[in-house]
Structure 1
Amino acid sequence: MNLPNKLTISRILLIPIFIILLSIPFEWGTWNIGHTDLPVSHFIAALIFIIASGTDWVDGYYARKYNLVTNLGKFLDPLADKLLVSAALILLIEIGLAPAWVVIIIISREFAVTGLRLVAAGEGMVLAAGNMGKIKTATQMIAIAVLLLHHFPFSYIGFPFGSIMLYIALFFTILSGFDYFIKNWHIMRDSK
């Protein structure tokens, strides 16, 4: 197994740790930053999320630079992104930092694209993420990280940067979904 795939698997393995930090009410206290109290567990979860998100960029860069792109990587990389982002968004609803309707739309798009990928796989094709999908993933990851940090560093001026980024991520999620289906509709149309 090559290094990019190992990095992707490490991203998947960080997800349970991330979930535990946001699901169990640890009594580690809070930090007052800006105009909000940031639970220490949210800060640590945000760091883990940022590290896991960073492996997404590193594994892709390394795979392209050293020509280590594999079908396993094309499968695991978007799966790892979907697992990490879905877990984070669902937990953001639970801790009151994201509206459920936005999360439902984002996760529904991920299910739809995964369905298209499964049809393509049945036809012997592997669909890699396009540029629009990469923008979608980047905006989602920025939104989630800033929301986990309770809008830090923008909390000092009372600016809800994380919430605004979440709506920007929603826009790119919908746009990239349409783009993905338009570009790959022939797979659904021509499948046996």
Structure 2
Amino acid sequence: MKARHLPNLLTFSRLALAVVAFVFLHLLAHAEGRPEAIRSHAFIAFWFYLVAVATDFLDGRIARRYGWVSALGRVADPVVDKVLTLGGLVFLVASPFLVRSAPFAPRADAYGELMPAWAVVVILSREFLVTALRGLVESRGKAFPAEWSGKWKMTFQSIYVLVILGAAGGVPAALRLGFLSFAWEPLVLNGLFWIVVLMTIWSGASYVARAVRLLGDGEA
């Protein structure tokens, strides 16, 4: 394998890791009422999801540093990112009972829903909108590259999924890092949820503004 293919290899390894994480998230979604199963499935899903997220930061950094950016990578990277983040969020919607499981159960009322369906609809709508805008702008011969707001959006979405999986899977306790339990204090976790929603909206608005500018000022 030539070294310049490493970023693409990392991208597709991220997809494979995401699929494995989704298998355990699927098992988690069917583990209601079985505390040990919830804990074990969430624990395993957490680690696969974490490594998958880590590869996203590696492939782009390597591609830019060594000039190994490719047409395949430009297409595959954002698609795999969407599969990873949206898949994780959808499986959280499919597991509403988690809020009534450890360690969330004692303060379940303070959390409400860990991932309400409406929030995923907002996130999906943003993705469809940006994809449509990119296609429209690029059909006019203009570049419409990803913005850092999109990366920040994905980062917060991924952190949110990881916090919930880590809490449900008992990851901090297993690592003897109990102080990390602050991450699922109701105020912190609810705040992180709203950051995810607002970052999604802000990122989408940023792309819309740029598309309107390109399409409306005669440059597109």
Bucket of the pairwise TM-score, normalised by the shorter protein: 0.7 to 0.9
* Residues 1-192 of structure 1 mapped to structure 2, 5 A cutoff: 2-24=5-27, 25=30, 30=35, 39-96=39-96, 97-150=114-167, 154-155=180-181, 159-160=185-186, 161-189=188-216
Deviates more, 1:42-51 or 1:9-18: 9-18
Q: Describe the SS at the equivalent of 1:39.
A: helix
Instruction: Indicate conservation of the 8 Å contact 2:7/2:73, yes or no.
Output: yes
Sequence identity (%)? 33
In structure 1, the gaps of 5 or more residues are 32-36
- Shift of residue 125 of structure 1? 4.4
- Seen in structure 2, the aligned counterparts of structure 1 residues 111 and 94 have a Cα distance that, compared at 3 Å, is same
Deviates more, 1:146-155 or 1:71-80: 146-155
- Shift of residue 126 of structure 1? 4.7
One-letter amino acid of the counterpart of residue 87, structure 2: A
- Seen in structure 2, the aligned counterparts of structure 1 residues 181 and 40 have a Cα distance that, compared at 3 Å, is same
**RMSD between aligned alpha carbons?**
2.7
Question: How many pairs does the alignment contain?
Answer: 186
Deviates more, 1:120-129 or 1:152-161: 152-161
One-letter amino acid of the counterpart of residue 87, structure 1: G
- Seen in structure 2, the aligned counterparts of structure 1 residues 156 and 191 have a Cα distance that, compared at 3 Å, is closer
What TM-score do you get using the length of structure 2 for normalisation?
Answer: 0.74
Q: Which has the greater radius of gyration?
A: 2
Partner Cα distance (1:157, 1:51) in 2: 19
- Shift of residue 171 of structure 1? 0.8
Runs of 4+ displaced beyond 3 Å? 123-126, 151-158, 160-163, 186-192
Partner Cα distance (1:142, 1:106) in 2: 15
Higher helix share: 2
Instruction: Indicate conservation of the 8 Å contact 2:163/2:184, yes or no.
Output: no
For 1:51-101, what per-residue CA distance to the aligned partner results, in whole angstroms no more than 9, with x for missing partners? Answer: 111011000110111111223222211111111111111100011131111
